[in-house]
Amino acid sequence: MINIDKLEKISKLIRYFILISTTRAGSGHPSSSLSAVELMSTLFFGGFFKFKINHIEYINNDRLIFSKGHASPLMYSLWAAAGAVSEEELLTMRKFGSRLEGHPTPNFPYVEAATGSLGQGLSIGLGMALNAKYIDKLPYYTYVLLGDSEMTEGSQWEAIQIAAHYKLDNLVGIIDVNRLGQRGETIYGWDIKAYEKRISSFGWETITVDGHNIKEIADAYENALSVKGKPTMIIAKTIKGKGVNLLEDKNDWHGKAISKAQMDTALKELGNVDKKIRGEILNPEQVNIPEEGIEEYDKIPMEIDKIATRKAYGNTLVNIFSKYPQIVVLDAEVGNSTFSEIFKKRFPQRFFEMYIAEQNMVGTALGLSLRGKIPFISSFSAFLTRAFDQIRMSQYSNSNIKFVGSHAGVSIGEDGASQMGLEDIAMFRTLLVSVVLYPSDGISTEKLVEKAAAHFGNVYIRTTRMDTPIIYSKEDDFKI
Amino acid sequence: MINIDKLEKISKLIRYFILISTTRAGSGHPSSSLSAVELMSTLFFGGFFKFKINHIEYINNDRLIFSKGHASPLMYSLWAAAGAVSEEELLTMRKFGSRLEGHPTPNFPYVEAATGSLGQGLSIGLGMALNAKYIDKLPYYTYVLLGDSEMTEGSQWEAIQIAAHYKLDNLVGIIDVNRLGQRGETIYGWDIKAYEKRISSFGWETITVDGHNIKEIADAYENALSVKGKPTMIIAKTIKGKGVNLLEDKNDWHGKAISKAQMDTALKELGNVDKKIRGEILNPEQVNIPEEGIEEYDKIPMEIDKIATRKAYGNTLVNIFSKYPQIVVLDAEVGNSTFSEIFKKRFPQRFFEMYIAEQNMVGTALGLSLRGKIPFISSFSAFLTRAFDQIRMSQYSNSNIKFVGSHAGVSIGEDGASQMGLEDIAMFRTLLVSVVLYPSDGISTEKLVEKAAAHFGNVYIRTTRMDTPIIYSKEDDFKI
C-alpha cells in the first residue's frame, strides 16, 4: 500500500524546492517542473523506482531519463527529497561551477544522460532497456519523462516504433501533458486521447491518468510493471505550474522564474511544508551479471591484394569482438552496404537492426554506451547527417560511440550526390575532442577500428565503397 | 471510365523501359521501380494526375514527388510513356552528363525536388500542398510516392502530424509496400494494416489496395480526390520486382540491374510490348492567381540604442514583407524566442507553426520554395542541426530557403551547452555556394535580412539572444 499522505507531503516539499531554487537562480523552468511533481514523486517514493542511492554505478539500478530536460529543477528537487542533495546546494542551481546545470548533464551524478534538446530521451532509454533485456539480462526498468510538446519530434516516433519492435516491456514512458509549450498550446492540447490513439497504434500499452492524482499514478505504475511483451506509455493530464496560482495553466510563463515577492505569495499558497521529511527509494534486487565467455571462433584473414575499407570494417568487427566483448553493432537497414552484416552473421545476438531511423539509432547507441557497451553504429556517411543533433548532444554525456559512415566521397559515382558523404568530416569535426579516422586500405582499417574500440570516447570512422589496394603492412602502427 | 486494357499496355511499356534503362546502365533499382508501376501508370494515365506536359512551370500543375527517389527508373519511364522522354534518352540513364541521374534531380525538368535520402518527400509535398491550400489558393493536388522502408524515418511522422493539423486534403501519399528493404524484410513486411492503423490514428484517410490491380488503384485515387478536411494515404500491397520472375519478391536484388541475358529472359516473360503506345496526361484547370496586394502598414522603427539581433530579425521581416510578398515564415514552436512571432502577429496568414519538428519544417520550406515562395524558417541555431540531412538535400533542388538560427554561441550562459548553437556555422558552410550571415547589431541585421530575401539561394542567418549595441549606421552597405 502506498502512503498517499506522505507522498503528498513530499510533493509539497518538492514544489518548495523547485520554487526556491529557480527564484534564487533568477531563471529556469519552474512551471514545466511543477506539472510533473506527482508523476515523479510517486515513481520515486511510491515503491516503484529502485535505486541504490549510495551506489550510483550499481548495474541493476533502475534508470530515469528526463527527456524534458528543462524540468531539471524537478529532477534536482527529487534527489533532494531523497536526501541526496542539500537545500543549500539546490540554491546553487544554474550558477557557474554548480553541478546543477540549467539542463541536466552528468556533472550531477544522478543524471543518466545529458538532455535539453528535446525528443532524445526516449531513444536513450530504449538503448538502456535493450541492454537490460537482451545483453546484460538484468531486471532493471528504464523510465523516461517526456514533455507533450516534444512528442512532435520525429525521433520520438522512431523510438516508439523500435521499442515496440523489440518488445521492450522494461521501458516505461511518462508524458506530462500540461497542454502548454513554450509559446502557447501544443498541437494536441489536453487531448490525451490523441496521444493514446497514436501511441497504442504502434503497439504500446497506454495508460491515461490524472497527473496530479497520486492514487491513479501509483496504479498506473503498478500496471506498467506487469505489462509483458511491449513497452508502456503513461499519458498524464497535468497542469503547467500546478500548485502556484500565478502560473497554473498560464501562457507566457514558460522558462521563467518568479520573483522573490511572487515566491513569497506562492509559498503561502503552498501552506505548511515539512522540510525535514525525506522520501525513501527502494533498493533494487541484488544481481550479478554472469560472465558469458565468447567461444573461440575463426578470425577472418585480411585480403592480400585489395579490399573495400567498408568490408575490412565488417571483418575487423568480427575479429576484435573476443577482445572487446562489450561491442554491440547497430545499423540503419543498410548492413549489406556498410558490411556490418558480416558481424551480424557471426554474432546475431550482438547485432540490432535499427531500421531506417538514424536519430533513434544514435540515441539507442548512447543508452548502450552509458550502460558500458561499445556501440559501433553504421549507415551511409551521408545519412549520419540525419542525426547531427543526437550526435552533438551525445558528447555532453561522456559517450563512447563509434560512428561508421560508408560510401564517403564522390567516388560512389552514378548513384549521385544524395548518397555521397561530403559533409561528414565537417560534422564530426565540430565535436569536442573530435576523433575522425579515414583509413585508406584494409590494413589501416583493421588497425584503426581496433584503436577506436580501445579509445574511450566518440570516434568517427569513414569508409569507402570501392576496393582500394593494400598499401600498409601489418607492422605499421597507428595512433589516435 | 478508365481504360484498364490501355493502362495495362502502358504498364507493360513502362516495365520494358525500366528494364532496358537499368540493364544498359548496369546499375540502378529496377526491382523497387517495378513494384510501383501500376500505382504510377494509373495515376498518370487514368485521368487523375493533371499536368501540362509542355508547360512544366504552369502554376496549377499537379505535383508528384518520388520520396523513394531510387525508383527513378520508374519516374523516367513514366515520362517516357507520356511522350516527354525518348527511348534513346532513357538509355543514357546514370551516364555522366545525362539528365536522368541515379536519383532524381531537377536536371530532369519534370523532377519537382531532388530525392534519394529517404523520408523527405512527404515534407516537401506538404509544403507544396500548404502553398496550394493557404497561399496561392490553387486547386492542384500534390502526390508523394513513398517506400515502405522509409516509413520508419521519424521525419515521415512529423509530416503526417503536421499535414493532418493543416487539414491538407490536397495531399495524397502512396506507400509502395513491397515488403523488402535494401537488406531484407522491412519492419512490418506485408502487414498493410500496420501502416493503416498507425497512419489513420494521426487523422489521415487511409485506403488499402492491391498495388497491381488497376481497378482498385483507380478507385482509390477517385476516393482520395473526394476526401475533405484531411490528407489521404493509399497503402498498396505490392511485389518487389513485379513482372520479372527472377526478381519477384526476392531478397538480395535491391539496387541491382539484371544482366543483358537476364533481361532477354525477362522481356520474353513480359510478352508483346506495344512500343508505340503512349499515355495521355490530362490538362489541369486553367487558373490565375489573383494579385492580392498587401495593404499599407506601419513599419517598425529601428531601436536607436541597442537591440537583440533576433528581435531586429522579427522586426525586419515585418518591414520587408511589402517589398517581398513571397515571404512565408515558419517556426519550430519557439517563435517567442526567435522573434518570428513579431511577423506572425502582423501577418498571421503568412506564418505557419511547424511545432517542434525541425526536419519537416525544412522539407516544408523546400516545398514552399519550389512553389516560388521565400520561406524564412527559424529555431534555436542548435536545433537546426536536427535537420542537417534535409538542409543538405535541399541544395540539390535549387532551393531558396532562409534559415535563421537564434541563441548562437556561448553567450546564452546558464541554459547550458544543449541550447547553444556552436556547430551551426560549420554545418551551413558545408553547403555548395554557402551564404552564412552573422549580423552583430540591429542595423546590420536589418540590412542582411533584406539582402537574404533578395538573394536567390539558401542563406543562413545567425542571431544572438542578448541585446547588442547599434554600431552601424543606416548608410552602411552590406553585400552577399
Q: What average pLDDT does range A28-47 have in this prediction? A: 98
Domains of chain B, first to last: 4-270 (3.40.50.970), 306-469 (3.40.50.970)
Mean pLDDT of the A264-282 span: 97
Helix H or strand E encompassing A365: helix A358-370
Q: Residue B201: which of A198, A382, A386 has the nearest Cβ? A: A198
Q: What is the pLDDT of residue A172?
A: 98
In this prediction, residue A289 carries a pLDDT of 77
pLDDT classification of B294: cutoffs 50, 70, 90: confident
Sign of CA dihedral A317, A321, A326, A328: positive
Residue B24 CB neighbours (<10 A): 17
| pLDDT of the residue at A242 | 98
The model's pLDDT over A168-206, given as tens digits with 9 standing for 90+, comes to 999 999 999 999 999 999 999 999 999 999 999 999 999
For the segment B416-422, the average pLDDT, to the nearest whole number, is: 95
Tell which residue, A472, A289, A255, A40, has the closest CA to residue B416: A255
pLDDT confidence of residue A202: 98
B461 phi/psi in degrees, rounded to 5: -115, 130
Does A450 qualify as catalytic in the annotation?
A: no
pLDDT above 90: residue A405: yes
Identify the band that residue B132 occupies on the pLDDT scale cut at 50, 70 and 90: very high
Q: Which of A452, A401, A458 is nearest to A432 (CA)?
A: A458
Mutant choice from B356, B393, B412, B428 vs A, greatest count of A C-beta within 10 A: B356
Distance CA B155, CA B174 (A): 16
Query: Could you report the per-residue pLDDT of B339-359, keeping only the tens digit for each?
Result: 999 999 999 999 999 999 999
CA dihedral B95, B100, B106, B112 (to 10 degrees): -160
Q: What is the pLDDT of residue B422?
A: 96
Q: At a CB cut-off of 8 Å and minimum separation 6, what does A328 contact?
A: A135, A350, A351, A352, A368, A373, A374, A375, A376
What gap in Å lies between CA B34 and CA A253, rounded to an integer?
Answer: 55
Catalytic residue among B248, B358, B423, B450: B358
Q: What is the mean pLDDT of residues B388-406?
A: 98
Question: Given a cut of 80, is residue B290 above it in pLDDT?
Answer: no
Q: Chain B: nearest CA to A68, how far in angstroms?
A: 12
In one-letter notation, the amino acid at residue A68 is K
DSSP state for residue A285 in the 8-state scheme = P
- pLDDT for position A441: 97
Determine the Cα–Cα distance for residues A458 and A455; give it in Å rounded to an integer.
Answer: 8
Cross-chain residue pair A427–B426, CB shorter than 8 Å: yes
Locate A311 and state its grid cell: 568490408
Structure confidence at residue B360 (pLDDT): 98
3-state secondary structure chain B: CCCHHHHHHHHHHHHHHHHHHHHHHCCCCHHHHHCCHHHHHHHHHCCCCECCCCCCCCCCCCEEEECCHHHHHHHHHHHHHCCCCCHHHHCCCCCCCCCCCCCCCCCCCCCCCCCCCCCCHHHHHHHHHHHHHHHCCCCCCEEEEEECHHHHCHHHHHHHHHHHHCCCCCEEEEEEECCECCCCECCCCCCHHHHHHHHHHCCCEEEEEECCCHHHHHHHHHHHCCCCCCCEEEEEECCCCCCCCCCCCCCCCCCCCCCHHHHHHHHHHHCCCCCCCCCCCECCCCCCCCCCCCCCCCCCCCCCCEEEHHHHHHHHHHHHCCCCCCEEEEECCCHHHHCCHHHHHHCHHHEEECCCCHHHHHHHHHHHHHCCCEEEEEEEHHHHHHHHHHHHHHHHHCCCCEEEEECECHHHHHHCHHHCECCHHHHHHCCCCCCEECCCCHHHHHHHHHHHHHCCCCEEEECCCCEEECCCCCCCCCCC
Percentage of residues of chain A with pLDDT beyond 70: 100
Cβ B62 vs Cβ B143: under 8 Å: yes
Grid coordinates given for B58: 504552369
pLDDT score recorded for residue A294 = 87
CA nearest neighbour of B71 among B123, B34, B124, B23: B34
In the block, which residue shows the cell 569513414? A462
Report strand pairing: B327-331 vs B351-353: parallel
Q: What is the spatial distance between Cα B118 and Cα B140, in angstroms, rounded to a whole number? A: 25
Segment B122-135 mean pLDDT: 98
Question: What is the percent of chain B where pLDDT is above 70?
Answer: 100
User: What is residue B413's predicted lDDT score, i.e. its pLDDT?
Assistant: 87
Q: Give the model's pLDDT for residue B255.
A: 95
**What average pLDDT does the structure give for chain B?**
97
Helix H or strand E encompassing A197: helix A192-201
- B427: cell is 554545418
Do B399 and B409 touch, CB atoms closer than 8 A? no
Count of A-B CB contacts under 8 Å: 212
Q: At what angle do helices B442-454 and B309-320 cross, to 10 degrees?
A: 40
- Whether A212 and A270 have beta carbons less than 8 Å apart is answered as no
Residues recorded for chain B: 480
Residue range B456-462: mean pLDDT, rounded:
98
Taking the C-alpha atoms of residue B354 and residue B358, their distance in angstroms, rounded to an integer, is: 8
> Do the chains contact at A186 and B355, CB–CB below 8 Å?
yes
pLDDT, tens digit, 9 for 90 and up, residues B197-245: 999 999 999 999 999 999 999 999 999 999 999 999 999 999 999 999 9
- Residues from chain B that touch A389, judged by Cβ atoms under 8 A, are 382-383, 385-386, 388
Minimal Cα distance from B360: which residue of A? A154
Catalytic residue among A112, A158, A358, A446: A358
Tens of pLDDT, residues A104-154: 999 999 999 999 999 999 999 999 999 999 999 999 999 999 999 999 999
Q: How far is C-alpha B91 from the geometric centre of its chain's CA atoms?
A: 27
Task: Quote the CA–CA distance of A6 and A198 in Å, as a whole number.
Answer: 35
Please judge whether A430 and B422 are an interchain contact, meaning their C-beta atoms are less than 8 angstroms apart.
Answer: yes
Whether the CB-CB separation of B470 and B441 falls below 8 Å is answered with yes
The pLDDT of residue A69: 98
Mean pLDDT of B75-103: 97
Answer yes or no: is pLDDT of A291 > 80: no
Q: What is the pLDDT of residue B151?
A: 98
Q: For position B183, what pLDDT does the model report?
A: 95
Percent of chain A residues topping a pLDDT of 90: 96
Distance from CA of A50 to the nearest CA of B (A): 28
